[in-house]
Amino acid sequence: MEDFGKALETVEKWIVEYWENNDHYPVLAKVKPGDISGVLPRKPPFHPEPFDAVMSDFQNVILPGVTHWNHPKFYAYFSITGSPPGILGEMLSAALNINGMLWKTCPASTELEEVVLDWLRQMIGIQAPLFGIIMDTASIGTFCAIAAARESLDLRIREEGMAGRADLPRLRVYCSEHAHSSDDKATIALGFGLQGLRKISVDAQFRMRPDALDEAIREDIENGWRPVCVVATVGTTSTTSIDPVPEILEVCRKHKVWLHVDAAYAGSAAVLPEKQWILKGCENADSFLLNPHKWLFTPFDCTAFYTRHPEILQRAFSLVPEYLRTSEDISHDFMNYGLQLGRRFRALKLWMVIRLYGIEGLQEALRRHIELAQEFAGWIRESPDFELMAPHPFSTICFRAKPEGVSENRLNSLNEDLMNSVNQTGEMYISHTKLHGKITLRLAIGNMKTRRPHVARAWELLRNHLAPLTFRGVRVEPGN
């Protein structure tokens, strides 16, 4: 390309302007399927094109099809932040373009990853040193944890596989009914099948019941199953409920089953001393993870995975072909702890986030998010037209509209219409879940730039858009 420096200046300027003013964009892309691909050329260019033409298409064709996750009024799923320090880390990582598969192929990448994950461990109040590694996503982290749990049973699956083996019992993993679907995917991919995942019932606060877990494992053993792993969740996807890890740990110890804790969203909250209780028991779990890309202001993707048994994880995945053999200690070769060979320099962005905000800056943002969410919950509680649907220990609120006089069987469609109606404004974006068969709206606060006026506006929009959907308690069907 002709002038890298000039192009970089343009991109830099664009990024700064975007960070400062992205709340002017509609949060949810207002396009139909095919709108973007339909205007892109079907054939790649043979001759190089000028940078200005590409940048112009980025602005005019690509941007209209972007849903702005980095927007202060993005409240859907789990709200996230690609913060300025994280963006700088990503830019440097792209420029270096290293591959940290072996210590030797980029010593700084491996060693920074070790140090930064040890910082993060201290920040979330885990006392004892642990082996830590950055993975791309929580889904992959959980997959690796279950693979390690399976390897720990010495069933010779690494050598002989699972198919057609009369000597192999059926294997089972356990998680709550509210655990993330990545647990289901991991059991599919690891060959246990969906029947190899048993969902444990939850209590009134959507937390896994340790007594039900104990009973399920006992019953399974009696029926010839071999329990492999329990996945507890700290901060479930729908309601952010917190499974009782210490009690679950006791059940796991009793039955000698690997405990993996998925704290993908909520783990970051433990950077606050007053929230560190949520990870109680994790230091003795066999593995656990949290996603700095969810609620620690680090650009996607970045999952911090910890285990007390790196040697078992290594046994599950290590395979060193001749061309990757070195004279160094392979325990620092991170390709040996997961499926992927090549590894990006993800530690750089996390390092920059921690250094440029400091623990203090991160705590300020986390506390602000929790306070804003609690204030929003207070507005819901006081309103005659809305109700809270679950406890809200973090920055995610589950609620629904329930105007007086609207019957229960019409509330699901009313809430779906309300969600679609506010999302269509482009001013905010919320998502939903279902609790006890009831459509429940979720407002998740997690963007670094979200302030009180943004949340107040979300509340105003919800109330304003509810009014035309109901009239004197009678549900008005769309189009009437």
Q: In this chain, which of 265, 295, 334, 345 binds ligand PLP, going by CB under 6 A?
A: 265
State the Cα–Cα distance between residues 298 and 333, nearest whole angstrom.
24
Q: In this chain, which of 83, 109, 110, 237 binds ligand PLP, going by CB under 6 A?
A: 237
State the Cα–Cα distance between residues 212 and 262, nearest whole angstrom.
19
Q: In this chain, which of 303, 383, 395, 470 binds ligand PLP, going by CB under 6 A?
A: 303
Tokens of 462: 């919800």
Q: Which residue number, 180 or 346, has a Cβ lying nearer to ligand PLP?
A: 180
Q: Which residue number, 232 or 466, has a Cβ lying nearer to ligand PLP?
A: 232
CB of 299 to ligand PLP, least distance (A): 13
CB of 86 to ligand PLP, least distance (A): 15
- Work out whether 139 is an interface residue with ligand PLP (CB under 6 A): yes
- Work out whether 262 is an interface residue with ligand PLP (CB under 6 A): yes
DSSP string, 161-177: -STT-TTPPEEEEEEET
Site string for ligand PLP, 59-98 (x = CB under 6 A): -------------------x--------------------
Q: Terminus-to-terminus CA distance in the chain, angstroms?
A: 57
Contact status, residue 442 vs residue 430, Cβ threshold 8 Å = yes
Q: How many residues does this entry show for the chain?
A: 480
Of residues 189-228, those binding ligand PLP (CB under 6 A): none
CB of 46 to ligand PLP, least distance (A): 38
State the Cα–Cα distance between residues 165 and 184, nearest whole angstrom.
23
Q: In this chain, which of 173, 251, 264, 362 binds ligand PLP, going by CB under 6 A?
A: 264
State the Cα–Cα distance between residues 124 and 17, nearest whole angstrom.
33
Q: Which residue number, 441 or 466, has a Cβ lying nearer to ligand PLP?
A: 441
Contact status, residue 415 vs residue 440, Cβ threshold 8 Å = yes
State the Cα–Cα distance between residues 66 and 159, nearest whole angstrom.
46
Number of Cβ atoms within 10 Å of the Cβ of 43: 5
User: What angle (nearest 5°) sits at the alpha carbon of residue 298, between those of residues 87 and 336?
Assistant: 105
- Work out whether 268 is an interface residue with ligand PLP (CB under 6 A): no
The backbone torsions φ and ψ at residue 176, rounded to the nearest 5 degrees and listed phi first, read -80, 165
The backbone torsions φ and ψ at residue 44, rounded to the nearest 5 degrees and listed phi first, read -70, 155
Q: Which residue number, 248 or 401, has a Cβ lying nearer to ligand PLP?
A: 248
State the Cα–Cα distance between residues 331 and 318, nearest whole angstrom.
10
Q: In this chain, which of 121, 180, 346, 465 binds ligand PLP, going by CB under 6 A?
A: 180
Of residues 22-51, those binding ligand PLP (CB under 6 A): none
**Piece of 1-9, 49-57, 205-213, 231-239 that binds ligand PLP (CB under 6 A):** 231-239
**Piece of 262-270, 358-366, 445-453, 460-468 that binds ligand PLP (CB under 6 A):** 262-270
Q: In this chain, which of 70, 110, 233, 470 binds ligand PLP, going by CB under 6 A?
A: 233
Of residues 96-125, those binding ligand PLP (CB under 6 A): none
Q: Which of 45, 42, 44 is nearest to 34 (CA)?
A: 42
Total chain residues near ligand PLP (CB under 6 A): 15
State the Cα–Cα distance between residues 78 and 314, nearest whole angstrom.
31
Type of residue at 273: P
**Alpha-carbon Rg for the chain in angstroms:** 24
Q: In this chain, which of 138, 190, 373, 428 binds ligand PLP, going by CB under 6 A?
A: 138
**Piece of 98-106, 137-145, 306-314, 330-338 that binds ligand PLP (CB under 6 A):** 137-145
**Piece of 94-102, 233-241, 390-398, 453-461 that binds ligand PLP (CB under 6 A):** 233-241
Contact status, residue 75 vs residue 457, Cβ threshold 8 Å = no
What is the binding site for ligand PLP (CB under 6 A)?
78, 137-139, 180, 182, 233, 235-237, 262, 264-265, 291, 303
